[in-house]
Structure 1
Amino acid sequence: MVDVRIAESAAVRLPLAGWVDAPVNYLADLSIKPVTYNPPHGTGLPRRDGNYRDFTVRIHDARPITRDLSLDRQAFILTRHDTHVRDFYDEEEVRTKYHAEVEALIKRETGASKVVVFDHTVRTADRAVERGLRTPVRSVHNDYTEKSGPQRVRDLLPPEEAGRRLKKRFAEYNVWRNIDHEPIEMAPLGFVDSESIAPRDLAVCDLVYADRTGEIYQGVYNADHRWFYFPKMTRDEAILIKCYDSLKDGRARFSLHSAFDDPTSPANPRPRQSIEARAFAFFD
């Protein structure tokens, strides 16, 4: 059974400030096995199998409690993070500049001895498909599973190093940020406090690509989930999301997140532009 949270008696109840009520897209149940079929970039939108439904949830403003958040309890944090990248749509600049910035950020926030940034995705709500980009993900999910986390390490590292690293603690983090020069108005990212996630809430979903099949977790609806977000994120902020942790000592190991429509957004919001970088952190 997947262990995702610390014992309820030890859970930290965060103080709640402002909130919005908004629909998010969950699996209602497991009557249909969830599968997502992903076409090549720029050729269309993903197609999904599964009994998905929108559920209205209360999403709390996490800005007043930013200092109380922990990667090992809630599985997400907000931090200030300046960047020297001028154009996030320039693939070469992102790989040469931003990956190094993300590596340094994760080392700073986690104390990892080695960080490998292996992927990034630029998303926009403005003509994404025709521009060869991806749209915001509007389903409650987590990027890695008990199986796919270690497998990705084996895919990335030489066999000898992978075997050595897999014997010690390692974790996968996503670093998410707004890449517009104005604050986000459309489709902000919401997060479930990992301490409110039960093992049954994580359903394995196959990700089918043209050349391979991977897997992620899709969230199954649970009325006990505690949702948070950071309104009006700016370009000098970053969110770290822990999507996998190999250590089974009671800390958060997985998380759930989704884009949603903020009812306080302007009537004609600027299309969201964002980037998420993915990285493994290895600990001695």
Structure 2
Amino acid sequence: MAQSTDTLRRTLSFYSPPLDGSDPEYIEGTSEESGRRNYPNREESVLIRDMRGHHKSFTLDEHSFTVLPGVFDLNIDFTEPMEITERYLPWVDDLLRRNIPRVASVTTFNYTMRKASTSKTPIRQVHKIHIDQSPKGAFMRARRHLPAEDITAIENGKAHFRIINVWKPVFRPVKDYPITAAEFRSLRATDLVPVRQVSSDYVGETYVAKYRDGQRFWYWSDMTPDDVFLIQCFDSEEQSPESVALGGLQHAQCAHGSFRLADDMDESCTRESIEVRCLVVIV
């Protein structure tokens, strides 16, 4: 079928239940070992649209993701952890304050450097369509990392919080495995399945997505190291009762993953990226 130049049909990875009927679980890997899950992926051919040229139409409030072209303006060596901690993370803090209204605080709770690979290697790109935190997992993160006064303000309705992933390529433009994100208003509550997420020092809960016709996916072609993708994994402010009653999500959350872009599977994998995860308190 003919497609416009800004539309692709590619394979995305979705959730399929564990074959033994158990609850889904993922055990995080390390720098030496890949993660392990007890459920298979289901591959689906999906229409993915390109945001380039009309990226200003996408907002955190309406879509749960947005893109910021050409905003990165520092000269940082991303191979040096101290450079990331002392220079890049403060830059991320300032970026979020400049692009999200009424920010009271930004708390970075971790970051990940990834290198794409066609083989199963540790800390590579994530294919499966997922959300880093379920609502339960998001509140667990907030209580783990935010000060008590912020939690009290959130519980009393005087503040709310968002979990924002700040993703960008490093070293070179993205030519393979770009990020793809689903409009949160195209998702239904029944599309998302909670997964127990186990790491060496923490047990949380994430979401994985089941495929359903009607989900709308986007990507941003030819991202450069100066471009930034904001992925909103959670907003504690609830959606309207009318929307929830119709099957929509109770919270604005972005299901996302990555996909093989090139038709030539022998093309070398060059995507390297940094993803910073932040708790943003809004007043």
TM-score interval for Structure 1 and Structure 2 normalised by the shorter chain: 0.7 to 0.9
Q: What is the TM-score when the length of structure 2 is the normalising length?
A: 0.86
Distance in structure 2 (CA, Å) of the matches to 1:267 and 1:129: 15
SS at match of 1:255: coil
Shift of 1:49: 1.3
1:193-242 alpha-carbon deviations (Å, 9 max, x no partner): 11100001111011122333211000111111111100110011101111
2:208 corresponds, among 181, 202, 218, to 218
1:122-165 alpha-carbon deviations (Å, 9 max, x no partner): 000269998xx611101000011111111111111233443234
1:120 corresponds, among 105, 111, 116, to 111
1:42 corresponds, among 18, 28, 31, to 31
Superposition RMSD in Å: 2.3
Q: Percent identity?
A: 24
Stretch moving more, 170-179 or 152-161: 152-161
Runs of 5+ consecutive residues of structure 2 not aligned to the other structure: 241-249
Runs of 5+ consecutive residues of structure 1 not aligned to the other structure: 1-15
Partner of 2:222: 232
Code of the residue aligned with 2:100 in structure 1: it is: T
Code of the residue aligned with 2:25 in structure 1: it is: V
What is the number of equivalent residue pairs in this alignment?
265
Shift of 1:92: 1.0
SS at match of 1:183: coil
Shift of 1:65: 2.1
Alpha carbons of structure 1 residues 32 and 83: separation in structure 2 relative to 1, 3 Å: farther
1:37-65 alpha-carbon deviations (Å, 9 max, x no partner): 113x2221111112421111011111122
Partner of 1:171: 162
Partner of 1:272: 271
Q: What is the TM-score when the length of structure 1 is the normalising length?
A: 0.86
Stretch moving more, 192-201 or 21-30: 21-30
2:41 corresponds, among 31, 34, 52, to 52
2:92 corresponds, among 102, 107, 114, to 102
- Find out whether 1:208 has 2:198 as its counterpart: yes
Partner of 1:256: 255
Shift of 1:166: 4.2
Distance in structure 2 (CA, Å) of the matches to 1:275 and 1:145: 22
Judge conservation of contact 1:43–1:129 (CA < 8 Å) in 2. no
Stretch moving more, 161-170 or 75-84: 161-170
Judge conservation of contact 2:131–2:206 (CA < 8 Å) in 1. yes
- Find out whether 1:69 has 2:68 as its counterpart: no
Code of the residue aligned with 1:220 in structure 2: it is: K
1:187 corresponds, among 177, 186, 202, to 177
Distance in structure 1 (CA, Å) of the matches to 2:27 and 2:35: 6
Alpha carbons of structure 1 residues 265 and 252: separation in structure 2 relative to 1, 3 Å: farther
Partner of 1:151: 140
